[in-house]
Structure 1
Amino acid sequence: MDGVHRAGMPGVYAEVRDAGQVWRGASGVADVRTGRPVRPDMRQRVGSITKTFVAAAVLQQVEQGRIRLDAPIGGYLPRLVPGERGKKITVRMLLNHTSGLPEYLPYAFPSLKEWPSLPDLSPKSLDDNRFKQFRPAELIEMGVNAPAAGEPGSTPGVYSNTNYLLLGQLLERVTGTTAENYITRNVIERAGLQHTEFPAGPRINGPHSRMYEGLFGLIDPPRDYSVYNMSWVMTGAGLVSTTEDLNRFYDTLLGGKIVNRSSLAQMQRTVPVINLEGQQIDYGLGLHTVTIPGCGTFWGHDGSTWGALTMSWTRADGKRQMSLAMNLARWNKLDSSGNPQHHPIDDALAALYQQAMCGNPVG
């Protein structure tokens, strides 16, 4: 982790578990102006790791018979996904990103519309939306009305926050309370998490780092976005948590204590999906998987929001876990074709992943 900090990351912190042993550590600063050190117990905006919590909540409702995985979403939310599309798109397709519904983000943040085309990319929308209160229905409408990303059910799927905002509305429809309330009571509290919550406002409760966004070198020096209204992506990427809580959550989930074994098997049925960075990943229902040669297969999720990157991975046998948080996002500058340029942080992170997830240092 010191290597990651030396390579240019302001602060990095993690918890690694290995067969009952727990290691926590941190390197660098939580505030580049004051030099306040980062600590391993700090809270972090965990981005799309939120999707695993949402998916677990939906599967609980499947177990109770209130939701059917292969039922059309139009039967539950006809106003949000009307017509033929609502008949073709199923709950499962929303969960595994094969709905064909595109990402609404470029419409909610117009200065990002041409991402990653450098001449048209600007951070203006990030500042314009810092305190803006979005309604889920207006964001969903942006995604539903945009050009389709594919046919419902076709693969590879296309990763889209539109899917998970719809799942939040589905949970509200069948439970009679907000998705955030339901997930708090039935997922967060069931897992015994003490420092995980949907933020009530733009500020994070408890000790946390500032969160610096580089936007591919367009914000230089990177700007702090730790104070931000997360209504633009709440059931897609709104949670705040800690590395300790994330390891506990995935240990509990993958141990069959939040959803039953049948539901967990559904969550681990993967399809190819193209993520927001244009890479193909193996995605299940709110979970995806990575395989490290000579080390094993890991389940979990990663997450990004303005200024924060987080990931949490658990080996298939459950014995090795790594949850890692960083307070600088999109540090790679883009070349003229819009491709991220290599940065020393990338090499330092590769070495960290190898040691943290596999237990063997590199070099």
Structure 2
Amino acid sequence: MTNPLDPAKLNAAMEDVHRAGMPGLFAEVRDGDQVWRGAAGVADVATGRPVTADMRHRVGSITKTFTVAAVLQQVERGQIGLDAPISRYLPKLVPGERGDAITVRMLINHTSGLAEYLPYAYPSLKGFPPFADTRPASLDDHRLTRFHSTELIEMGVTAPAVGAPGGTPGLYSNTNYLLLGALLEHVTGTPAEQYITRNVIERAGLRDTELPTTPYVNGPHSQMYEAWFGMIDPPRDYSVHDMSWVGPAASLISTVTDLNRFFGMLLAGEIVSPSSLAQMQRTVPVVSQEGKTIDYGLGLYPMEAAGQSTFWGHGGTVWGAGALAMIRADGKRQMAVAVNLQRWHRLDSSGTPQLHPIDDALAALYRVAMYG
């Protein structure tokens, strides 16, 4: 069982992550009615401005859980068939036999076999992965580029397939989630971002969460430092960036408080029905963009902190920013953490990211947060 929240231990664990090399991080941990919020380090390495626990932050692929919730609401209304072929809805975007073979579920759990579009949209990342063949130039080239999702989808659909539809392990691909955005727009007649805002974000009462329409983060926020495996040294601030390159796959801005509220309501059956939540928790093996095989459900995946209880949640990274949200299966204990440095690892001779003291310090923080 978990222990009650211990503010001294949580603060010390946060400071350890900062000391290990993370410029700044902030978190909220909940246990029943108990809530702890904390922060360590700086939001701006130039001025020394401190991070605070209420800052808004880019939370990357945690967006996927919100997008799936919106899709499952439409499944519940009979507007989308979870195991229907995507060609039923978007025959022009995924044409031919492939569109008939790929189901909505395969898009959500990354078993569609569709390639990641990112190395085509960001040419300097062409080798990705492995990361050794990449260069970060495209991150600057496309800071203010406004992409249209259909052009990104076309890049992913026309790229060589990475697997057969429904085959496992699947391969994590943002192309799947841009297609889910197009699917939402097709069945609701509303742009996906607007639909998700109205029916997921506002329905959950999240006051500081948004799918941005400009390159800026509104309100108090940290700078967001990208190191790209030591190729950007010192790490560069990418807090101003047009997020149309990921849209409903990873563009969300939120706070640790809003993330905990959302995942708490989700596991309580208040965002989607209990039967939809059960579908979200049916997992298949998927290879992540870091090359690790994880069990992935429908916009949710199980995690173990210290190998004991199972927690459900999602992580996310964009240029310079990262976040992780997890909640115990019974909904009692939960945590959301945000960090303002990404790709802090160096690569070995084979191009594999090497462990860094930040990794151990974060793992220790998660243990304290989830078990006390």
| Bin of the TM-score, shorter chain as denominator length | over 0.9
| Structure 2 counterparts to residues 1-363 of structure 1, below 5 A | 1-117=14-130, 120-293=133-306, 295-359=308-372
Specify the code of the residue in structure 2 equivalent to 1:358: Y
Q: CA deviation at 1:353?
A: 1.1
Specify the code of the residue in structure 1 equivalent to 2:273: N
Q: CA deviation at 1:112?
A: 0.7
Instruction: Find the residue that maps to 1:67 and give its secondary structure.
Output: coil
Check conservation: 1:45, 1:308, Cα contact below 8 A.
yes
Q: CA deviation at 1:117?
A: 4.8
- Please give the alpha-carbon distance, in whole angstroms, between the structure 1 residues aligned to 2:351 and 2:236: 21
TM-score, scaled relative to structure 2: 0.95
- Please give the alpha-carbon distance, in whole angstroms, between the structure 2 residues aligned to 1:196 and 1:225: 19
What is the match of residue 11 of structure 2? Answer: none
Q: CA deviation at 1:348?
A: 1.1
- Please give the alpha-carbon distance, in whole angstroms, between the structure 1 residues aligned to 2:65 and 2:217: 21
Specify the code of the residue in structure 2 equivalent to 1:112: L
Q: How big is the alpha-carbon RMSD for the aligned residues of Structure 1 and Structure 2?
A: 0.9
TM-score, scaled relative to structure 1: 0.97
Deviations 1:41-79 (A, max 9, x none): 001100000000000000000010100001000110011
Check conservation: 2:269, 2:277, Cα contact below 8 A.
yes
% of aligned pairs identical? 70
Instruction: Find the residue that maps to 2:39 and give its secondary structure.
Output: strand
Instruction: Find the residue that maps to 2:111 and give its secondary structure.
Output: coil
Greater CA drift, 337-346 or 12-21: 337-346
Q: CA deviation at 1:291?
A: 2.3
1:26–1:124 Cα change, 3 Å? same
Specify the code of the residue in structure 2 equivalent to 1:61: Q
Q: CA deviation at 1:186?
A: 0.5
Instruction: Find the residue that maps to 1:309 and give its secondary structure.
Output: strand
Check conservation: 1:30, 1:208, Cα contact below 8 A.
yes
Check conservation: 1:116, 1:338, Cα contact below 8 A.
no
Q: CA deviation at 1:342?
A: 2.2
- Please give the alpha-carbon distance, in whole angstroms, between the structure 2 residues aligned to 1:147 and 1:279: 21
Segments of 5+ residues of structure 2 without an aligned counterpart are: 1-13
Deviations 1:179-205 (A, max 9, x none): 000011100011110000011100011
Check conservation: 1:51, 1:236, Cα contact below 8 A.
yes
Segments of 5+ residues of structure 1 without an aligned counterpart are: none
- Please give the alpha-carbon distance, in whole angstroms, between the structure 1 residues aligned to 2:346 and 2:161: 29
Specify the code of the residue in structure 2 equivalent to 1:197: E
